[in-house]
Amino acid sequence: MKSVKLHSRLTKTLRISLTVLLFFAFSVSSFSQEIDEARQKEGKKLFKSLCASCHKLDKKLIGPALAGIEERRENDWLKAWIKNNAELRASGDADAIAIFEEYNGSNMTAFPQLSDKNIDDILYYTTVGELKKKEVVADNATGGSVSKASAPEWLIYILAAAIVVAFLMIASLLKQVSELKGNTKIESQSNLKRDLHELWQGVKQNTFLKVLSTIFLLLIGAYIVFGTLFKVGVDEGYQPIQPIAFSHKIHAGDNKIDCQYCHSSAKHSKHSGIPSVNVCMNCHKNISEVAEETVVDMGDGYVLGKEELDKEIAKIYKAAGWDADNLEYTGETKPVKWVRVHNLPDFVYFNHSQHVTVQGLKCQKCHGPVEEMEELYQHSPLTMGWCIDCHRETKVDLKGNEYYAKVHEQLAKKYGVEKVTAAQLGGMECGKCHY
């Protein structure tokens, strides 16, 4: 009996000591996970400047993903490889040759300038990875987008309220008319049809009112007819829904990519073409997802966040036939059916190179503030009057055009000006654009 008691006491103390030990071990191990921020920062800096063009931590790029590389390879081997991988391969190291073959024999740059400490810092960064950021930024971003989206709704409510008020005013006026006519309130709710009839009778009997209202009606009619006619074929403000939600603001505005980087045919040809997807892939081979806080506000309360935008990038991959997991082209391409926004009729000749390269106009002159557009729209009316207005004002730069020097001199003398405008140079002759 006593022995049993002793036994149970023994196990109890053992258990307690074990838990205490475990607790200690746990706290010690969690302590060791503390990150040396200075080292991580140093390693990150080196990694970003030297390695990141071919390696990512979590994904295969040109070379393998490097997160946790220290667990997979010996430290000495890594140092030898990083300093001069060609030498290591030449020495007949089987691992080195194997990895070189696996990545289709793409040469990794040698980094003899890195010291052992540098390499250790880089490896430390690959092991600990990114420091966790505070999640305040993301919250702010979503809050901002919500308030942005609600702005146009306000306007709609105000308009709706105004319309309701207007209708109430009409109703009260109608009531007053019927009362003035001597109709005592027989029915409390006024009959619109009957009131209109009374109004009609009233106008018919008064010649002045008759003439006035006829003129008024004619004016309104003319306004509507001409307003509609002048809109025929003029697509100012046209903003079609595109197959990919491409934001010019992010590309040309925030990232300052030149217009001609993508629309490269503007400088030599009649058309400023839509870039083929290989141009998209020049960057998007690397950028498969947008930054965490990216938000595209398409208007009408339609806001795209990271999740939607990543799907938009995946559409490019589909068009280009790019397998984002294995990082290779499958060969199954599919053109993107962009919707054309700026469209001159076929009976007008317009040449981009003449305006962009020869005259040196900024694209924004005609296309408006594209770098601020989340979704592209037509900024200018593209009517003939609009073309001619600009031709009348724009002075032509005649420098370095000796062949026509004499003609230009004569023209300048004829018009009595120092610099001729595009119109004086023939930019208003019918045959220049219509033939």
Contact residues toward another protein (CB under 8 A) are 48-54, 61-62, 105-107, 163, 166, 169-170, 173-174, 177, 196, 199, 202-203, 209, 213, 216-217, 220, 223-224, 227-228, 231-235, 237-241, 254-258, 260-261, 264, 268, 276, 278-279, 281-283, 285-287, 335, 337, 343, 345-347, 377
CB of 96 to another protein, least distance (A): 16
Largest CA distance in the chain: 130
Which residue, 20 or 287, has its beta carbon nearer to another protein?
Answer: 287
Query: In the complex, what is the shortest distance from the CB of residue 425 to another protein, in angstroms, rounded to a whole number?
Result: 25
Nearer CB in complex with another protein: 377/415: 377
Distances (CA, A) of 302 to 156, 242, 266, 298: 16, 14, 32, 5
Tell me the closest approach of the beta carbon of residue 21 to another protein, in angstroms: 45
The nearest distance, CB 25 to another protein, in angstroms, is: 39
Q: How far is the CB of 53 from another protein (least distance, A)?
A: 3
Least distance from C-beta 92 to another protein, angstroms?
A: 19
Closest CB to another protein among residues 301, 335: 335
CB of 160 to another protein, least distance (A): 12
Burial 270-279 (b: 16+ CB within 10 A, else e): eebeeeebee
Cβ-contact 61, 327 below 8 angstroms: yes
Contact of 96 with 85, CB cutoff 8 Å: yes
Q: How far is CA 373 from CA 87, 214, 234, 245, in A?
A: 52, 45, 20, 12
CB of residue 193 vs another protein: minimum separation in angstroms? 13
Q: Which is closer to another protein, CB of 5 or CB of 256?
A: 256
Distance, first Cα to last Cα, the chain: 118
Q: Which residues contact 52 (CB under 8 A, 6 or more apart)?
A: none
The Cα–Cα gap between 198 and 377 comes to 48
The distance of closest approach from Cβ of residue 433 to another protein in the complex, given in angstroms and rounded to an integer, is 14
Would you say 127 or 276 has its CB closer to another protein? 276
Min dist. Cβ of residue 394 to another protein (A):
21
For the CB of residue 256, give the shortest distance to another protein in the complex, in Å.
Answer: 5
Our CB check for another protein shows the closer of 127 and 239 to be: 239
Q: Would you tell me the crossing angle of helices 94-102 and 75-83 to the nearest 10 degrees?
A: 60
Kindly report the length of the chain.
Answer: 435
**Which is nearer to another protein, 68 or 221 (by Cβ)?**
221
Q: How far is CA 371 from CA 148, 203, 287, 364, in A?
A: 19, 56, 20, 9
What residue has token string 């080292």? 39
Residue closer to another protein by CB (options 55, 391) is: 55
Specify the residue, 151 or 224, whose C-beta has the smaller distance to another protein.
224
199 vs 428, which CB is nearer to another protein?
A: 199
Spatial separation of the C-alpha atoms in residues 44 and 378, rounded to whole Å: 44
Cβ distance to another protein smaller for residue 98 or 173: 173
Q: Which residues pair with 296 in a beta bridge?
A: 304
**How many other CB atoms are found less than 10 A from the CB of residue 47?**
21
